[in-house]
Structure 1
Amino acid sequence: MAEIRLQKVLAQAGLGSRRRCDDMIAGGRVEVNGEIIDTMGARVDPLTDIIRVDGSRIPPPNDHAYVLLNKPRGIVTSMADERGRPDLSSIVAGREDPVRLFHVGRLDTDTSGLLILTNDGDLAHKLAHPSFEVTKTYVALVDGTVPDGLGAKLKAGIELDDGPARVDRFLVKDTSRGRSLVELDIHMGRNRIVRRLLDAAGHPVRELTRTAFGPLRLGGLAAGTMRDLKRDELGALFDSVEQA
């Protein structure tokens, strides 16, 4: 893509009028490839240059779709389940944009929560590939009262049938009536890894929800609904794999 004026790129990204974007540049709020640009007339390639405003990444322009979905329990992570079970197609069918989407990674049928849908194959590959180590956050309701030392044990790692597994962060949020509510961060993407890890630790999972994927947060998005990623979210998502 040919280089174009920086203020035009900012305006096209929805940051305001050309005049407002000029003010942002003059105020030293814009950086390109790590360098503050505070003079008018700078030209950039928005496809390859990393542009930030107030520290937030401006994602490169493209025609791809990026969607955050709150998958309900009981829905198969597939756009067309070969066994005829309820799948994502029933949710995506209500989307106005007819572009074909696919899911980044999977959630078990009995697991709810944050799922990314896109048609950007390159970004999807990076987000799902173990080498990029994108962190996911889960909240789990487990059997039993979790002992004080379990977090340290899970961080150190537990041997599973396909190799050792560990969490990056572990927090007990509540304990009541013989069950515990826990939250954990993990960057491993192996099949049913959270359920298998907690089961091996002696606390089988009864309910499991993914609440974050990299910089994205589920927030108050209702189960079975979706929304397009915001500009800052998408910029942060690109950062999460480029800085890995």
Structure 2
Amino acid sequence: MELMRISKYLSVSGITSRRKAEELIRSGRITINGKIITDLSFKIIPDLDIVKLDGNIIKMNVRKIYIKLFKPAGYITSSSDEFGRKTVLDLIDINERIFSIGRLDKDTRGLLLLTNDGDLAYKITHPKYEIEKTYRVRIKGEPKDEELNMLKVGIDLDDFKTSPAKIKLLNVYHNTCDLLIKIHEGKKRQIRRMFEYIGHPVIDLIRLKIGPIELGDLKEGQWVYMNNTELNSLKKIFGGR
């Protein structure tokens, strides 16, 4: 019988990504046959061992789901919220259990991917793959070339240094302007903090692309299942797996 690491079992089951699965294990919320397991390397026999999260049995999913959503502002990307705030799952009426791949800040709109495929979610969010995300941003004022060059080189924020960003000026208005920015990181409120750093606060922010996956013609709050062409273009980045 084939053995499987408990972290992989949890991610394959669709309850969370592999990284979050490791957090669940470390926190002692996972039991195997009635015993708490905190060892990330622990292996199980999927068809025999009984895996529970907070006392609820976790079974492996067979049907993999891949969704792209136009997230409106005002929604958080967590699966649930103790303060009763609206989550992106309120917008998707399906029976299967899914979770968002990465995050978008509450006030940010645009493309968000959701799935029950923990392995793919892990790869998309892992820094080593440097998956590029494309955003359109509207900011106050018009930045000088030297200010944009700072972002193109990378700046030191409080807790990390940003990698070089690709930036293109799109439109200039009376007191605002629109830009296209591409980054491969996804730190909390990163783009907003970057433009605050150079003195041009963000007015509106929308994500247009994640790797090869585009927002397309979706309207705010709408979602669709990703098609095979989109899935294959995404998986090709990881060697087709």
- Structure 2 length normalisation: TM-score? 0.71
Q: State whether structure 2 residue 160 is matched by structure 1 residue 174.
A: no
C-alpha separation in 2, matches of 1:77 and 1:204: 23
**Aligned residues of 2:123 and 2:129 also touching (Cα < 8 A):** yes
In structure 2, do the counterparts of structure 1 residues 79 and 163 end up closer, same or farther at CA, with 3 Å as the change threshold? closer
CA distance in 1, matches of 2:117, 2:162: 29
8 Å Cα contact 1:136-1:214 kept in structure 2: yes
Q: Percent identity?
A: 37
SS in 2 for 1:202: coil
1:71 maps to which residue? 71
The 8 Å contact of residues 215 and 240 in structure 1, kept in 2 or not, is answered as no
Separation in structure 2 between the aligned mates of residue 235 and residue 122 of structure 1, nearest angstrom = 15
Q: What is the root-mean-square deviation of aligned Cα atoms in Å? A: 1.5
| 1:155 matched residue in structure 2 | 152
Compute the TM-score of the two structures, normalised by the length of structure 1: 0.70
Aligned to 2:17: none
Quote the offset at 1:189 in angstroms.
1.8
**Residue aligned with 1:150, SS:** helix
State the distance in 1 between where 2:130 and 2:112 align. Answer: 17
Partner residue in 1 for 2:205: 208
For structure 2, the 5+ residue unaligned runs are 1-61
> Aligned to 1:237, which of 225, 234, 239?
234
Task: Report the structure number with the largest CA radius of gyration.
Answer: 1
Determine helix, strand or coil for the equivalent of 1:155. helix
- Report the Cα offset of residue 146 of structure 1: 1.9
Which of 193, 210, 233 matches 1:196?
193
Q: Which runs of 5+ in 1 are unaligned?
A: 1-61
C-alpha distance in structure 1 between counterparts of 2:106 and 2:153, whole Å: 29
What's 1:224 paired with?
Answer: 221
Contact 2:153–2:165 (8 Å) recurs in 1: no
* Deviation of 1:89 (Å): 2.4
Within 2, Cα distance between the matches of 1:167 and 1:199?
A: 16
Aligned residue identity for 1:212? K
SS in 2 for 1:67: strand
SS across alignment from 2:220: coil
Partners of 2:152 and 2:238 in 1: CA distance: 23
Tell me, what secondary structure is at the counterpart of 1:164?
coil
- Is residue 154–residue 165 contact of structure 2 (8 Å, CA) maintained in 1? no
Q: Could you tell me how far 1:167 is from its partner in structure 2?
A: 3.8
Indicate conservation of the 8 Å contact 1:167/1:184, yes or no. no
- Alignment size in residue pairs: 179
1:142 Cα deviation (Å)?
0.5
Q: Where do 1:57-68 residues align within 5 Å?
A: 63-68=63-68
Q: Label 1:153 to 1:160 Cα distance change in 2 as closer, same or farther (>3 A).
A: same
